[in-house]
Structure 1
Amino acid sequence: MTTNDRPTGAPAERPIDVIVAPKDDTFYTPPPSLLEGEHGEVIWSRPLSGAAALASARVNQLVLYRSRDVHGKPVAVSGIIALPRGAAPEGGYPIVSWAHGTVGCADTCAPSRDTITSPAHPYNAYPHGLLNAFLDRGWAVVMTDYEGLGTDGLHPYLLGESEAHGLLDIARAARRLYPAELSRKLSIVGHSQGGQAALFGAHHAPIWTPELDLRGVAALAPAAAVHLLVAAGLELDFALPGFAFTALFLAGAIAGNPNIDVKELLTAKAYERWPHIHERARVELSKEESWGGLKGNEQLNPRPNPSKKAFFHQLELMNPALRILAPIRISQGARDQRIRADFTRTLHHQLAALNGPVNVTYKEYEEVSPTHDPDELGFHFGLMDTDLPSLTRWLEERFADVAPEEPVAAPR
């Protein structure tokens, strides 16, 4: 087997051999023969530059790694590994696994494929300020694209176990590429869709990656109770850009239950727009000629049917009210127009009831630094700026704690 060129900053000895990575977009479509293996193994990697790279990193490495979908099928998932500029401390850099927010399901939306001309670029670029700050603190940052985003298959939007596998397996892949530079210490941080994904990642970590020492999970404006949002939206006799999310929710629901029949579930008008999910960014889905032009009551077939029942069951399973063994931090802007503060407060109470109030920190901001945003949703994205000092202190405390001698038991 031919080995890949050693990534910049990699140790002299590597525990694995990886095949030479393609230099074009075939990087994202490996032959089926390379999918089998242990989840978190590296298929191939190559240096990354351009809009997707983090400016504060000494190393930006594009990686394709093995994972599993929720039905146990082997899949390839892409992402980015970024290492700080300073020398690794004794024991290695702590790792932050970043869970990105909604960009869409089209492969061109994937953060690792980002370009300045992409419709998803503002959403992919905005978190860079937060992530560069993490690198400046001396923490490695790993960023999954999630299953099916950039790679083959439809992205299972908000399908919690799938997101968890992506977030955890990229941390494992990073430690295989840089075994002398990365520690077992891991925290998971995410915003919006990524806040929900981060909570699922923390829930599954003890079973999926027991060798990692999960120190905490931070969810900024996490998506929650989406079944209630969809149900309320279906009653509306007017169109909203936010109705684009119905198509995204459906993509995740189908991945969870392939028996959902899209033609049975959707109205004829919505079914005509369903193919847009494969080719358009979320911001494009919100336009009038796509899902943003549908009235709420024009989305789903009004008659009861098995697919509608299965769809809403999957939406309920996406709610991240979960048993989590690591410390949890939730933050929210009171004026957020994308993720409602009352839903996040309810999620906080659910998490506290399941995990104990002492294990859940909640911080709500009455004022959030507004930002320029294509959807005028600056109070949603501005939370990353406003919360950064407090979030960073919380993560520093988590990484400073004494690690347990043995991995803790898995949640039930």
Structure 2
Amino acid sequence: MMSRFQRSLWILATLALTPSACVKAPPSHQGPHSSDELPSFYQPPSPLPTEPAGYVIAHEKLTGPAALESAGSNERVLYLSNSGSVGEAPVAVSGIIALPDGPAPTGGWPIVTWAHGTLGIADKCAPSRDAIGASAHYFNQAPHRLLNQFLKKGWAVVMTDYEGLGTPGRHPYVLGNSEAYGTLDIVRAAKKLHGNKLSTKFAIVGHSQGGQAALFAAARAPTRLTQEEGLELVGVIAYAPASAMRLLFHAGAGREEKSPDSAFMPLFLTGAVEGNPSKVKLTDFLSEDAVKLYERVDTECRVELSEETSWGGIVPKDFVMKESPVFTELNAQLEAMDPSTLQITVPVRLVQGAQDERVNPAQTVLVKLGLARQGATIDYVGCPVADHFGVLGDDIPGTLAWLKQQFTGDAPTTPVLSSCQPLP
């Protein structure tokens, strides 16, 4: 029998993922990844430099909406990382490095490496390419209030775009190792650029997709980083982390009406396919029309995929799956994306809004229980009036106090005034 939490998760999954009516599949695009014409900065040399992960290929001053207002300097960076796919080939990844205003303190500014939430797969969605009027602009701006608070505290902020988001290749959505490498390697890139201005201490913070990415990065840090580098991960914060990918995908595929959340089905598939392309093949389980519609991930951000003219306008039950689909390899990849079985050795802070309709609070409870079974030390925090994005504002006081304690070892001397409170 299902537990109470599992039943709650199943119910939300069936409510949160919905599509109906028939939409004509778009004409096929040329090639596997034809988002838009990449600006020259995002086009790495071929072949890539034979340098270690974190090597800086290019960097330039960043201005405009993508830049953080409270920073003394913002720069766009292109650095080496590794793919999360089989073989883990070297890849170029883009991102942003923002330093606090004023001179660096003795020992350097501590670093927060930020893992962003769902934006889409198309290159135009990348945070470092954000522009006013862009379809992903609202979602790229959503964490800026929080990130600016980090800078005001005297912490440097580094923000990966993730593999394939802004750069050549398809972004493998919620593919844990890919996200982890990008999130960790931009810390290395920042240290190579700014040396002793930056501390060796860093924390990982992420939201939604990025919450899951943050947990994967924390789990992979002990083997990804070398002792010689001297980098010290002090803790990880995950706001409403993505989880239960297998359950959500199949619940969505069985829906009998339309929903904008159907956009997440093709996003999940990009990570599954790119994670093991020789074994996970769309034609094993998707209908011909769904395979054609899938190609829209390369040109549409998540909000566009949710529209009636795209995945938001189909009835999944009658459209997505072929007759007699084969799910074995797909299911294995979807299950590997779930963060609840990770082993994390640094302190973990999980934050969840009670009003969240994108990530069910029961999902985050299951993540907490799973991580605890693997030995993690977890502070679980609930925000009673916060929705999916509201946690990024409501928990600012608690987040700042918690990170300060991890960086300095000093516990708060006065109560933290916040609507978000610890939960058992």
User: What band does the TM-score fall into relative to the shorter chain?
Assistant: 0.7 to 0.9
Query: How many angstroms does 1:353 deviate by?
Result: 1.5
Matched residue SS, 1:34: coil
Specify the alignment match of 2:17 in structure 1. Answer: none
Specify the alignment match of 2:243 in structure 1. Answer: 224
Gaps of 5+ in 2: 1-37, 411-424
CA contact (8 A) 1:328 1:360 kept: yes
**Where do 1:141-290 residues align within 5 Å?**
141-210=157-226, 211-259=230-278, 260-290=280-310
Specify the alignment match of 1:381 in structure 2. Answer: 389
Counterparts of 2:179 and 2:225 in 1: how far apart (Å)?
14
| Larger RCO (CA under 8 A, 6+ residues apart) | 2
Specify the alignment match of 1:33 in structure 2. Answer: 47
Comparing 202-211 with 26-35, which one deviates more in the overlay? Answer: 26-35
**1:284-310 deviation line (CA, Å, top 9, x unaligned):** 00011111112231454254444x221
Alignment TM-score, normalising by the size of structure 2? 0.84
Counterparts of 1:294 and 1:263 in 2: how far apart (Å)?
19
**2:92 matches 1:72:** no
**2:148 matches 1:132:** yes
Matched AA of 1:361: D
**1:320-358 deviation line (CA, Å, top 9, x unaligned):** 0210011000000111010110111111111112124xx
**2:362 matches 1:354:** no
Matched AA of 2:142: Y
Matched AA of 2:81: S
**1:212-266 deviation line (CA, Å, top 9, x unaligned):** 1000000000001111111222222111110110100000011111022223321
Counterparts of 2:64 and 2:318 in 1: how far apart (Å)?
41
CA contact (8 A) 2:53 2:185 kept: yes
Matched AA of 2:389: F
Specify the alignment match of 1:406 in structure 2. Answer: none
**1:387-409 deviation line (CA, Å, top 9, x unaligned):** 1110110000000139xxxxxxx
Matched AA of 1:188: I
Match of 1:364 among 368, 376, 382: 382
CA contact (8 A) 2:252 2:265 kept: no
Counterparts of 1:241 and 1:137 in 2: how far apart (Å)?
38
CA contact (8 A) 1:215 1:398 kept: yes
CA contact (8 A) 2:172 2:271 kept: yes
Specify the alignment match of 2:416 in structure 1. Answer: none
CA contact (8 A) 1:352 1:360 kept: yes
Matched residue SS, 2:121: coil
CA contact (8 A) 1:270 1:298 kept: no
Matched residue SS, 2:47: helix
Alignment TM-score, normalising by the size of structure 1? 0.87
Count of matched residue pairs: 366
Gaps of 5+ in 1: 1-23, 369-378, 403-412
Matched residue SS, 2:154: coil
Identity of aligned residues (%): 48
Counterparts of 2:265 and 2:252 in 1: how far apart (Å)?
9
Q: Structure 2 vs 1, CA of residues 319 and 299 (structure 1 numbering), >3 Å: closer, same or farther?
A: farther
CA contact (8 A) 1:270 1:294 kept: no
Q: Structure 2 vs 1, CA of residues 31 and 383 (structure 1 numbering), >3 Å: closer, same or farther?
A: same
Specify the alignment match of 1:397 in structure 2. Answer: 405
CA contact (8 A) 1:35 1:75 kept: no
